[in-house]
Each structure stands twice: as C-alpha cells, then as structure tokens.
C-alpha cells in the first residue's frame, strides 16, 4: 500500500510564537536572538517581514540590525516554544495516531489510513494548516510525499517557497522537480559532503541519482548508498510515534561566553557538563558505555577541533567517571588553541536493570549518593549543590541553570 506522509513545518516558529504572545509586535519586523553579552547574539528565527529586509537565520545580530535598524529583538522563551510544540502535536494526533516529532517546529504525520475521509491530499493539508492557525495562531508549511524524505524535501524546497505553503514530491514528478536542484538541496548533504560531491562532478541531485551506486558505496560505504537512495526518493523508514523518547545517547553542549585558553578553565566546564549528563542519565534510569567529547575552537573557517570517544569496560551513570574519561580524551587531542564550544555525551545506553554487577567494583553506594544530590537539585534547583570550581570565573553552571537548551526559559 502506498503511504501518504506529511511534514508539517511551523513558519518562523520562535518569531511567530512571540508575535502571537505579544500582539504589539504583530506588524513589526521581529527576530528572536540570543544574548550578545553571552556571545549568543545570533538570529535564531526571523519573521517573514524581517526576511523581506534580507535578515537570515544564523547570522550575527549586528548584521541583521544593519539590514533593518527597526528590528524588534526578542530573547527566546524556550519553555513557551516547547509548550506550543506539544499543543501542535495534539492537533495532529486528531488526524492520525502516527505522529513523529522531528524537531520543536517540525513533525511528520502518516495520514495513509485517514486520507480517504478527505477529497484530496491538499484538502487535508489545508485543513491541518487552518486548524493550527485557528488554535495556535502560527502559520505552517506542509510537504507531502510517499515517504518521510520526500515529504521533508517537498516542504524545504517547494512548500516554503509557494503561496499555498503546500507541495508534493512523488516518483512521478521527482525527475522534473527534484533532480535539477543543486546537490546541497538533498536532505543530509552538508557543506563538507557538498564539496566532495562537486569535486566528483555531481553538481545536482539528478547527477547523484544517476551515478553508479557501486562507486558511491566503494567511496563512502553504506553512507554512499544512502545518499544515492535519497536522491532517488527511496526511504522506507516508518513514522514512529514517541520516537523522541527513545534515546541512543544523552549529551550536553555549551557555547562558551568567551574563549577559554587554559587547561584549568576548560576542566571546569568539562566537569560541569559531565555532571549534567550523568544527572540526566540517572533521571531516565540508564547506564552508558561510551563517553565522547566534542571540542570546537574559535576558528570556524579552519574547522579546528575534534570529536573523540572512548568505550568503558563497565557501563556507568556517574559524573566522576564521565569527567575522568572526557579529561583524558581532551588531554590527548587538544593542542592548545582557544576553545569556544564543548560537548560531552554518553552513548550505548541501556536500562540500569540490565547491568551485570562486578565482584570487585560496586558503584551502588556512589550512585545512591548521586541520586540524593539529584533529589535535592530537583527540589531546590540545579544550583542548590555545586562543585566549588563552578563558583570560579570559568564556571557556567549557575548561568546554564536558568536556561533551556542554552536559551532563556
């Protein structure tokens, strides 16, 4: 049976929510941006009116203001965006029980089994759009396809650019509509892969789709075949409800307010990130086996930095263990350049109940103490108990405790 899948994308989501919650902003050019004092003065979202001035997402705040001095700059309210996103999920679930949250502003919905209740796919898409506008006040763009990848590319490349805000990609129009697009319009192709593909003479999605898959597989293994399949509109992955609740890894990433160039300062942040990751792992009653660290310098043009991981002999949920491994990896691969961003993650997760206890190293008492500390933080706030190092100038725990995803609540 052929499937029909929608990708519902909220237009300028953060900025649109701010306009709904603050009616006085309705007819003004609005952007949502981080705090420039905390080195996060980047445009996170721009309303359609702001975009008419050339303002773009991810550009520095000063550049946006230079293009449009009348900009209304609003700091993000992440808890509000998450609440609205959940409300949108509930609206979509009225049309199908197969709804998959892809991001805070994008959701897949498989309407294969409810489509017969409507005259056309476009009619159903319009009804979903209208109900979201009536209930939430936010416009959406909807891509339609027989699978998730075509629905996503229909939305990104066509629905966002036409007046109706609805577009469909399917095997019948794939060659005409999708193949002429530049290679970086293909889902999953970033700047680095774009360079590789162009160097191979593959400038368009159609070039890649018609390239012998055996040569792509030879160069990039299974990833090469995946790219070829995406270019040909082949995707068999199902829409999985509550997929966001099943985690393969738990991590925490931080952009620093200034360059950190001493080992002692960087150690403070590594410790804070390790403790936060461990707390979230314990909250979900997991253990993890692989510790990874991501380090980014202040030199984005040369992409200076590294991402390394190490697998433990025994799974853990302790910040002390994660911190020790992360510091070892940092010491091994850092060459002294100023650090702008750090990330720590624990992967290969498993339910704690599945752990086989060691006869020689029983972490039960330490885990119980960690859980008591977690309970205190849950009741009195994340800053109720902190390491002394977090009170130093390098510490970021107090600032991060007031935010969600690095932004204001």
**Per-residue pLDDT of the chain in tens (409 residues, 90 and over written 9):** 689 999 999 999 999 999 999 999 999 999 998 765 554 578 889 999 999 999 988 888 888 889 999 999 998 888 889 899 999 999 999 999 999 999 899 999 999 999 998 989 999 999 999 999 999 999 999 999 999 999 999 999 999 988 899 999 999 999 999 999 999 999 989 888 899 999 999 999 999 999 999 999 988 898 899 999 999 999 999 998 865 555 678 888 888 888 898 999 999 999 999 999 999 999 888 999 999 999 988 765 556 889 999 998 889 999 999 999 999 999 999 999 999 889 999 998 888 766 665 555 667 788 888 888 888 888 887 877 878 887 888 777 776 666 555 555 5
Class of residue 328 by CB neighbours under 10 A (exposed 0-12, middle 13-18, buried 19+):
middle
Which of 106, 168, 272, 275 does the annotation list as catalytic? 106
Binding residues: 9, 105
* Sequence ranges of the binding site for Mg(2+): 9, 105
DSSP string, 140-188: EEEEEESSHHHHHHHHHHTGGGSSSSEEE--TTTIIIIITTSBGGGSTT
For position 345, what pLDDT does the model report? 94
CB proximity list for 247: less than 8 A, separation 6 or greater: 284, 286, 349
Locate the domains of the chain by residue range: 1-170, 175-231, 247-408
Tell me if residue 106 is catalytic. yes
247-408 is a CATH 3.30.1490.100 domain: yes
Give the C-alpha distances (Å, rounded to integers) separating 241 from 85, 91, 234, 257, 408: 15, 14, 21, 37, 28
Whole-number Å distance between alpha carbons of 251 and 6: 30
Second-level CATH architecture of 1-170: 2-Layer Sandwich (3.30)
Report the SS3 class of residue 339: strand
Is CATH 1.10.150.20 the right assignment for the domain spanning 175-231?
yes
* CB atoms near residue 74 (< 10 Å): 21
pTM of the model: 0.69
């Amino acid at each position: 049976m052929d499937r029909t899948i929608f990708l519902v994308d909220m237009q300028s989501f953060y900025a649109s929510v701010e306009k709904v919650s603050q009616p006085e902003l309705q007819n003004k050019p609005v952007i949502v941006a981080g705090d420039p004092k905390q080195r996060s003065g980047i445009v996170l979202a721009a309303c359609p009116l702001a975009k008419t001035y050339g303002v773009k997402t991810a550009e520095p705040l000063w550049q946006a203001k230079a293009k449009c001095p009348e900009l209304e700059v609003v700091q993000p309210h992440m808890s509000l965006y998450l609440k609205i996103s959940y409300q949108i999920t509930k609206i979509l679930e009225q049309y199908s029980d197969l709804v998959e949250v892809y991001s805070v502003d994008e959701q897949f919905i498989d309407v294969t089994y409810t489509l017969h209740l409507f005259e056309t796919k476009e009619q159903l898409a319009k009804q979903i759009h209208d109900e979201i506008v009536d209930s939430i006040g936010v416009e959406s763009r909807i891509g339609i396809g027989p699978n998730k990848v075509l629905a996503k590319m229909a939305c990104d490349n066509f629905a966002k650019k036409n007046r109706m805000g609805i577009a469909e990609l399917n095997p019948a129009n794939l060659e005409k509509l999708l193949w002429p697009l530049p290679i970086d319009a293909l889902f999953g192709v970033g700047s680095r892969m774009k360079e590789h593909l162009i160097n191979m003479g593959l400038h368009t999605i159609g070039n890649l789709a018609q390239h012998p898959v055996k040569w792509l597989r030879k160069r990039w293994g299974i990833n090469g075949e995946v790219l070829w399949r995406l270019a040909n509109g082949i995707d068999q992955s199902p829409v999985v409800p509550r997929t966001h609740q099943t985690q393969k890894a738990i991590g925490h990433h931080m952009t620093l307010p200034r360059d950190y160039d001493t080992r002692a300062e960087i150690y403070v942040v590594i410790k804070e990130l390790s403790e936060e990751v461990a707390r979230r792992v314990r909250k979900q009653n997991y253990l993890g086996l692989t510790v990874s660290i991501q380090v980014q310098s202040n030199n984005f043009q040369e992409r200076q930095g590294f991402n390394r991981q190490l697998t433990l002999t025994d799974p853990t949920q302790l910040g002390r263990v994660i911190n020790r491994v992360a510091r070892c990896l940092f010491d091994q691969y850092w060459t002294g350049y100023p650090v702008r961003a750090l990330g720590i993650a624990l992967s290969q997760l498993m339910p704690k109940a599945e752990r086989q206890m060691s006869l020689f190293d029983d972490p039960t008492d330490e885990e119980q103490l960690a859980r008591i500390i977690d309970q205190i933080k849950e009741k009195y706030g994340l800053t109720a108990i902190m390491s002394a190092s977090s009170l130093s100038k390098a510490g970021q725990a107090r600032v991060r405790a007031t935010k969600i995803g690095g932004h204001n609540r």
